[in-house]
Chains A and B, each alone.
Chain A
């Protein structure tokens, strides 16, 4: 029987009187690559924050590894936040940021063994040359790689990423997805990724969760990324027909 890593049952999240998520319900099996898709303000980031235990669920049930968020060993989860929301003025070196992922505290000094491990992980994401750079001297793409290294240094069973490709060029984003898939295959990890990109969801994800505060669909990309679903979630299907992947292809089983 497949192991359920994340489970949501009639999940509601509210900010005061404002509804952020309503009745979201899904189960994620170990080894899945799930893309969370929806328009701006649809509750994608809220869902990630609820899973991290940063925002409490207003009602319903939410479990990770069979326990409530915030009550599991944080080392089992790797998290890559949205780079655009990060504080870049904090004085720190990339290697310190990576080590903070292992320690789960900010390091005053980085020990030699910690540095070796950090360099190994930075190297695996092609960012070893950035180790001694200050955070405010990194580009968005470089910072994204360093954050990915930070999340992978603890060898998480579940990796959550919030718009990891935002601000990165197409080649950089493609490398990032390859790195993720490589890690997922090596460690039988589960990946949960917020994205705006239907193309990415179709080509990299095993499952898609389509939301717009309420759940529009959850299942394989072919079943979820249909024109009626996308219209319901986004209000339109945008430029999907002009992309290399199109809704029509998905409906054909593309």
Chain B
């Protein structure tokens, strides 16, 4: 274990895994409780479009993917709140358009297709120091916004009651959407576009089964996110299997345990 932690790439992997695990599972409670689980999948695919654009422009893909995905999140929220369409319809539209754009961008520079596939599955062991700084920056912003929890929780419980009590729900929803988008983008490097939605949904869903209050659900979800990242990384190293997928399988095992415990 000490040998393992002595390796710089594993140190970076543990830091990135814990930060992303916390971020995604903290925001995941709002996603799950608002029945927007499909949003994680939609934003992850939007990130694919952004990554492809970054590769086309020959720049760091995540720098392009972050604003691109945030823009998609704002678009989804705008369609959801200002038309009669439901959230899943809005997500479905943006999801498809972002993937279509990604395919077109990649077709323009086919020599980068292999790099794009690396983002589909992620590689926590290839996380750079710069990635750590970006993820830490996002975590600091999320921590600074923890006082917003009571407002977001209130709007999650009942948005009309929150509006009636003077809360600017639309503004908070946009802020939350952008934070979710950025979280998804930083998580893409760790777990990949195809599996990132699990980070948002599984820890929060497990926490819901184990908690009587929304505050407890938020704490338990964050703890599951961090612990599953640590256990998943250790197992992936021991068994020599992909780290992102292993973390998600650990989260799935926790979920199964929560189902059993929740039924007691």
Contact = CB atoms under 8 A, between A and B. Distances in A.
Interface string A66-94: 00001000100101010000110111110
B161 A81 contact: yes
Most buried by A among B149, B167, B212: B212
Contacts of B158: 81, 86-87
Given A90-B33, A90-B157, A105-B150, A53 B213 contact: no
A134 B215 CA distance: 13
B150 A91 contact: no
Given A105-B150, A105-B154, A106-B153, A96 B164 contact: no
A10 interface: no
Main secondary structure of the interface of B (DSSP, over half): helix
A106 to B, nearest CB: 4
Interface string A85-117: 011011111001000100111111100000000
A54 interface: yes
B228 interface: no
A173 to B, nearest CB: 22
B165 interface: yes
B1 to A, nearest CB: 35
B166 interface: yes
A88 to B, nearest CB: 11
A91 B216 contact: yes
Given A53-B164, A93-B212, A87 B157 contact: yes
A246 to B, nearest CB: 37
A96 B213 contact: yes
Nearest to B149: A108
A100 B165 CA distance: 10
A92 B150 contact: no
B217 interface: yes
Interface residues of B, number: 25
A224 interface: no
A70, A108, A109, most chain B CB atoms within 10 A: A108
Contact of B214 (A16, A53, A91): A91
Contacts of A93: 212-213
A79 B33 contact: no
A107 B213 CA distance: 10
Given A86-B158, A87-B158, 15 more contacts: A16-B84, A52-B160, A52-B163, A53-B164, A54-B164, A77-B164, A79-B164, A87-B157, A89-B33, A91-B213, A92-B157, A104-B154, A106-B149, A106-B156, A108-B150
Interface of A: 16, 49, 52-54, 70, 74, 77, 79, 81, 86-87, 89-93, 96, 100, 103-109, 134
The 9 tightest CB contacts between A and B, nearest first, are A106-B153, A105-B150, A52-B164, A104-B165, A106-B154, A108-B215, A74-B165, A74-B166, A54-B163
26 contacts: A52-B164, A53-B164, A54-B164, A74-B166, A79-B161, A79-B164, A81-B158, A81-B161, A90-B33, A91-B33, A91-B211, A91-B212, A91-B214, A91-B216, A92-B157, A92-B214, A100-B157, A104-B166, A105-B154, A106-B149, A106-B150, A106-B153, A106-B154, A106-B214, A107-B215, A109-B215
Interface of B: 33, 84, 149-151, 153-154, 156-158, 160-161, 163-167, 208, 211-217
